Amino acid sequence: GPLALWGGRFASGPAAALADLSRSTQFDWRLADDDITGSVAHAHVLHAAGLLSDDEVTGMVDALERLRADVASGAFGPLPDDEDVHTALERGLIERAGTELGGKLRAGRSRNDQIATLVRMYLRRQSRALSGLVLDVVDALVAQADAAGDAPMPGRTHLQHAQPVLLAHHLLAHAWPLLRDVERWADWDARAARSPYGSGALAGSSLGLDPAAVAAELGFTGPVENSIDGTASRDVVAEFAFVAAMTAVDLSRLAEDVILWATKEFGFVRLHDAYSTGSSIMPQKKNPDVAELARGKAGRLVGDLAGLLTTLKGLPLAYNRDLQEDKEPVFDQVDQLTVLLPAFAGMVATLTFDTERMAALAPQGFSLATDIAEWLVREGVPFRVAHEVAGACVRTCEERGTELWDLSDADLAAISEHLTPDVRSVLSVEGSLASRDAVGGTAPVRVAEQLAAARARSALL
Ligand code: ARG
């Protein structure tokens, strides 16, 4: 029958249906190496507390390291009767160290503090790996922004032409949120870096074990302050899940731009063959599947976050078995981002922009109307009046089917006494762009600074 960890007070083993329900090795086995690392640290504090002799700790650590090697090679793995990663590894330890020595490791710890610690170890490592992959997307955006130089494009609000902007400015507008996502993981790590090991089942350990020593050995800044909190809280996991979901949402917004820009109607961008797909029936098709999968997976990652928060809502302290459900949502997020991010970075890096078309469209849709209004303000006209006058210019042109720069000196004078021919200095995309030269604006000088700043931020993270 199953080698359960609690034989003493039970006359029968678990029903097969319970074992099937209870089993978590199919997803928590990925924590096996971290569990062994935790066990080695635990053996050390048992030794320090005089609960393992010098020979015993040597034998224990040796058996754990052999088990680690067998896990890595695949020689050791979970069996159907193993409830979870901890149960399986205890079996593996006893097989290698014998029942007498192997049976000593469990003193002073519970699977409750163990699992809470392992999840933090795993997520801290993954947050660093994912941050690196997010920075690859940022670097691809920065490189594209650099290559775009001073190329203009139509800037949009409500998806309608609004004001011309630099393509580089728009691309960097996607880079900054991703840089913040990486910063969020770094900030999160300060809270994740407390070790629950030593919390026991909920009340702490009576055996004189030093939680600070375990924490230090496992790369944490220290132990948790409260053993109930250490075993029962999962806000650290939920916060990781938020950053993962936010990252996916940020990618999804860029993905939507790419999808739209790759349409015939926009024609702003071409996808590289290596990062687009064909159709099994329509020979002409070139589809933006990477971007669409990013958009689709964003929904999935948001669902993972929502599911996790819903599991936590209303759970009484301390540990409840519901908490076993914390892992699959974040593991799914890690797995999805791990496959998505490299493809996404490759897609971004290989986009080719039709900068001529974008430049031609930049002043369309009367996107220089605001420049007329602001030119008038600089001439001393109140903005309320200036807005009216610029609006009248648009109305005249719309009626005639012409553009703002087609207005003659006489047209301008007829619309308003304030409109002298000098207004034409801002009726060009270049003039408009150059005028938006406050910090954060789209003027080429500011965007060049911004590009350097984004590059520097990425290099720091
Ligand atoms: N497998 C459990 C989890 O993932 C840890 C074991 C705690 N189980 C228990 N019955 N106290 O949370």
Q: Tokens 């938006």 label which residue?
A: 436
Residues 73 and 103 sit within 8 Å (Cβ to Cβ):
no
Encode pLDDT of 303-325 as tens digits.
999 999 999 999 999 999 999 99
Report the Cα 65 to chain-centroid distance in Å: 34
Assess whether the C-beta atom of 390 lies below 6 angstroms from ligand 1: no
Encode pLDDT of 68-83 as tens digits.
999 999 999 999 999 9
Encode pLDDT of 385-416 as tens digits.
999 999 999 999 999 999 999 999 999 999 99
Which residue ranges does the chain devote to CATH 1.10.40.30?
363-460
As a whole number, the mean pLDDT across the chain is: 96
Cα–Cα distance measured from residue 77 to residue 89, given in angstroms and rounded to the nearest whole number: 9
What is the average pLDDT across 204-230?
97
Encode pLDDT of 52-71 as tens digits.
999 999 999 999 999 999 99
Among 84, 231, 323, name the best residue to mutate to test ligand 1's pocket (greatest count of ligand atoms within 8 A of Cβ). Answer: 84
318: preceding bond cis by omega (within 30 degrees): yes
DSSP assignment of 87-127: HHHHHHHHHHHHHHHHTTTTTT--HHHHHHHHHHHHHHHHH
For residue 280, pLDDT beyond 90? no
Residues 368 and 432 sit within 8 Å (Cβ to Cβ):
yes
On whether the 363-460 domain is CATH 3.40.120.10, my answer is no
Assess whether the C-beta atom of 24 lies below 6 angstroms from ligand 1: yes
Which residue ranges does the chain devote to CATH 1.10.275.10?
14-107
Catalytic annotation present for 158: yes
Select from 296, 285, 286, 284 the least CA-distant residue to 256: 296
Whole-model pTM?
A: 0.95
Alpha carbon nearest to ligand 1 atom 10, residue: 321
For residue 383, pLDDT beyond 50? yes
φ, ψ for residue 11, nearest 5 deg: -85, -30
Assess whether the C-beta atom of 85 lies below 6 angstroms from ligand 1: no
> In the structure encoding, which two tokens stand for residue 235, read together?
């806000």
Cα–Cα distance measured from residue 36 to residue 67, given in angstroms and rounded to the nearest whole number: 8
Cα–Cα distance measured from residue 42 to residue 89, given in angstroms and rounded to the nearest whole number: 14
Select from 341, 368, 384, 349 the least CA-distant residue to 434: 368
Assess whether the C-beta atom of 163 lies below 6 angstroms from ligand 1: no
Cα–Cα distance measured from residue 363 to residue 361, given in angstroms and rounded to the nearest whole number: 6
Select from 269, 241, 260, 239 the least CA-distant residue to 328: 241
Q: Of 200-204, 215-219, 277-281, 317-321, which range is least confident?
A: 277-281
pLDDT at 1: 43
Q: How far is the CA of 324 from the centre of ligand 1 (A)?
A: 6
pLDDT at 188: 98
Which residue ranges does the chain devote to CATH 1.20.200.10?
112-360
pLDDT band at 232 (very low <50, low <70, confident <90, very high): very high
Atom of ligand 1 nearest to the CA of 28: 4
pLDDT at 3: 54
Atom of ligand 1 nearest to the CA of 319: 11
For residue 7, pLDDT beyond 80? no
Residues 260 and 266 sit within 8 Å (Cβ to Cβ):
yes
Q: How far is the CA of 111 from the centre of ligand 1 (A)?
A: 6
Encode pLDDT of 87-129 as tens digits.
999 999 999 999 999 999 999 999 999 999 999 999 999 999 9
Cα–Cα distance measured from residue 80 to residue 25, given in angstroms and rounded to the nearest whole number: 9
CA-based R_g, the chain, Å: 31
Assess whether the C-beta atom of 84 lies below 6 angstroms from ligand 1: yes
Assess whether the C-beta atom of 248 lies below 6 angstroms from ligand 1: no
pLDDT at 282: 86
What CATH number is given for 112-360 in this structure? 1.20.200.10
Q: Which CATH class is domain 14-107?
A: mainly alpha
Residue among 158, 206, 280, 408 flagged as catalytic: 158
